[in-house]
């Protein structure tokens, strides 16, 4: 295709200079179907870790705008719409390639990377209420020398104050 960069070259086939800062620029390695991160999204328990890693990977490739809303098809020059569509498809593949099979089926039919990104946020950026409750319960039942933590530290503070002033 005209404007694509030959493998291992910094110069597109049409002889123009490649603009590596252009989010629509596609490096030959970007066409790989593999994900850009090694972690797979499995659910609520690792969503924030996954999102952080994916955001960093997209930012490193100058493609974060496809998911954060700063680079939309509507904001792209009409003459570059096919390039936007191609890069959007690549970003979709990166996202879909980094989610578990059980999640994949729910998002495979979305056409825009931003839609997948937003759907994943809406679904998985939640703390499971029962998990939070259980953590609070565990904290409240912790013991130190047979006393609750708050009692233990209150006694310790009183003991230290008593010895400080004597």
Averages of pLDDT over each 10 residues, the chain, 166 residues: 45 64 87 82 94 96 96 93 96 95 92 97 80 67 73 74 71
Residue 9 included in any domain: no
- Report the pLDDT value the prediction gives residue 130, as an integer from 0 to 100: 63
Can you give the pLDDT at residue 12?
A: 53
Is residue 61 classed exposed, middle or buried when 0-12, 13-18 and 19+ CB atoms within 10 A define those classes?
buried
Q: What is the pLDDT of residue 3?
A: 46
* 112 and 65 fall within a common domain: yes
Count up the domains in the chain and report the number: 2
Q: Is residue 98 part of a domain?
A: yes
Stated pTM of the model: 0.67
Q: Which domain holds residue 135?
A: 130-165
Residue 162, beta-bridge partner list: none
Q: What are the tokens at 10?
A: 């910094």
122 and 71 co-located in one domain: yes
Phi-psi region of 51 (alpha: psi -120 to 50; beta: other; left: phi over 0): alpha
Please give the structure tokens belonging to residue 55: 């955001």
Instruction: Please check whether residues 44 and 111 belong to one and the same domain.
Output: yes
Q: Are residues 61 and 90 in the same domain?
A: yes
């Amino acid at each position: 295709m005209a404007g694509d960069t030959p493998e291992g070259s910094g110069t597109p086939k049409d002889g123009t200079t490649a603009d590596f800062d252009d989010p629509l620029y596609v490096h030959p390695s970007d066409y790989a179907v593999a994900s850009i991160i090694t972690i797979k999204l499995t659910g609520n328990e690792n969503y924030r870790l996954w999102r952080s890693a994916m955001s960093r990977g997209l930012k490193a490739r100058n493609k974060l705008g496809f998911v954060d809303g700063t680079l939309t098809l509507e904001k792209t020059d009409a003459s570059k719409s096919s390039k936007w569509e191609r890069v959007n498809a690549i970003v979709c593949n990166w996202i879909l390639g980094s989610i578990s099979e059980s999640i994949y089926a729910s998002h495979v039919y979305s056409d825009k990377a931003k839609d997948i990104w937003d759907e994943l946020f809406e679904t998985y950026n939640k703390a499971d209420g029962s998990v939070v409750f259980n953590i609070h319960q565990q904290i409240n039942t912790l013991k130190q020398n047979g006393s609750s933590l708050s009692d233990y530290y209150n006694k310790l503070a009183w003991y230290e104050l008593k010895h400080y002033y004597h």
